[in-house]
């Protein structure tokens, strides 16, 4: 049943980076489901992120209060039904799960040499791509870029970034819609 599902999410949550917000927005709809959400906080891409104040953390945003209260720390040795990694470079989570997925994005119409290098080079990138069940990317543009790396098109799913619809409404419209 749904109540037995254990989802592991590895990635950035506490740094004021767009990926942290994407993570939280994608998890938000799951917070009212009967899914156990486990989090593995990935190390930052750059050490200067460590100087961010805790007050800047997206985890402090009131929008995510209900979600944050449901997030449990990832536990080594536990079995997860699915894992989702969203950070750079994408990794194959060290946690045990029956379905492994990651997030990849291209900003240049191709995965750049720098991106492949961050993934550990061509062999490591290929190994990751072969081991992952699903690669999520936010747009058809990005999907086409990933396909240039000779990845099975059936593995790539477009999952647009989440958005708070109320952000685009005026105060009077928000009042009318609530």
Measured CA to CA, the distance from residue 27 to residue 39 in angstroms comes to 11
Say what the pLDDT of residue 77 is: 87
Q: What is the pLDDT of residues 110-164, one digit of tens each?
A: 999 999 999 999 999 999 999 999 999 999 999 999 999 999 999 999 988 867 6
Cβ atoms of 92 and 132 within 8 Å: the answer is: yes
Q: What is the pLDDT of residues 17-31, one digit of tens each?
A: 989 998 898 888 888
- Over residues 65-88, the mean pLDDT reads 93
Say what the pLDDT of residue 147 is: 96
Which one has a higher pLDDT value, 175 or 12? 12
Say what the pLDDT of residue 175 is: 62
4 — pLDDT class (breaks 50, 70, 90):
confident
Antiparallel, parallel or unpaired: β 134-137 and 96-97 = unpaired
In the 8-state DSSP scheme, what is residue 75?
-
Say what the pLDDT of residue 33 is: 86
Measured CA to CA, the distance from residue 118 to residue 141 in angstroms comes to 21
69 — pLDDT class (breaks 50, 70, 90):
very high
Task: Tell me whether the omega of the peptide bond preceding residue 89 falls within 30 degrees of 0, making it cis.
Answer: yes
Mean pLDDT for all residues in the chain: 89
Residue 39: other Cβ atoms inside 10 A: 21
Say what the pLDDT of residue 76 is: 87
Q: Please, how many CA atoms are within 13 Å of residue 156, restricted to the half-sphere of its CB? A: 21
Cβ atoms of 84 and 78 within 8 Å: the answer is: no
Query: Residue 92: CB partners within 8 Å, gap ≥ 6?
Result: 85, 100, 102, 128, 131, 132
CB-based contacts of 87-90 (< 8 A; 24+ apart in sequence): 87/10, 87/11, 87/12, 87/19, 87/42, 87/45, 88/19, 88/45, 88/115, 88/118, 89/115, 89/118, 89/119, 89/120, 90/119, 90/128, 90/132, 90/135
């Amino acid at each position: 049943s749904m109540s037995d599902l254990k989802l592991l999410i590895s990635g950035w949550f506490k740094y004021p980076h767009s990926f942290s917000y994407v993570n939280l927005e994608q998890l938000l709809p799951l917070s009212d489901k009967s899914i156990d959400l486990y989090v593995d906080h990935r190390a930052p891409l750059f050490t200067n992120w460590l100087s961010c104040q805790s007050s800047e953390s997206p985890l402090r945003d009131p929008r995510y209060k209900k979600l944050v209260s449901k997030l449990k720390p990832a536990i080594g040795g536990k079995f997860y039904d699915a894992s989702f990694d969203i950070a750079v470079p994408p990794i194959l989570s060290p946690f045990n799960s029956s379905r492994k997925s990651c997030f990849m994005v291209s900003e240049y119409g191709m995965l750049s040499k720098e991106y492949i290098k961050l993934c550990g080079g061509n062999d490591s990138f290929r190994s990751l791509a072969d081991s992952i069940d699903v690669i999520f990317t936010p747009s058809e543009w990005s999907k086409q870029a990933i396909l240039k790396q000779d990845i099975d098109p059936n593995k790539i799913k477009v999952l647009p970034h989440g958005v708070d619809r109320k952000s685009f409404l005026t105060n009077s419209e928000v009042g009318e819609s609530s």
